Amino acid sequence: MIVAFNAAVSISAIFQVILAALVIGLILAHSGRDAGFGGIGFTPASQGGQHIVERNLTRITVVVAFLFAANTVFLYRLLA
């Protein structure tokens, strides 16, 4: 039982680190007002609307952020 518990904590902790890196990378990939880091090929075609790539990037960021939050709660429940 303890071995399974340790394995669950280890796998979840590794997953948490991967999700954290993904969230940081996805947030940096977004183009801001100055088209900062996200200006590397992800800039909208016009100022009036978002490009399809930018919308998909936003959707992926939301999903990964939700997984990060859910995994945080899961880790807390495991270790509390």
Domain count, the chain: 1
Inter-axis angle of helices 52-79 and 2-29, to 10 degrees? 150
At 13-49, the pLDDT tens digits run 999 999 999 999 999 988 766 554 555 555 555 555 5
Torsion of CA 38, 15, 76, 60, to 10 degrees: 40
pLDDT: which is higher, 74 or 53: 74
Domain that holds residue 31: 2-79
DSSP 8-state code for residue 9: H
pTM: 0.76
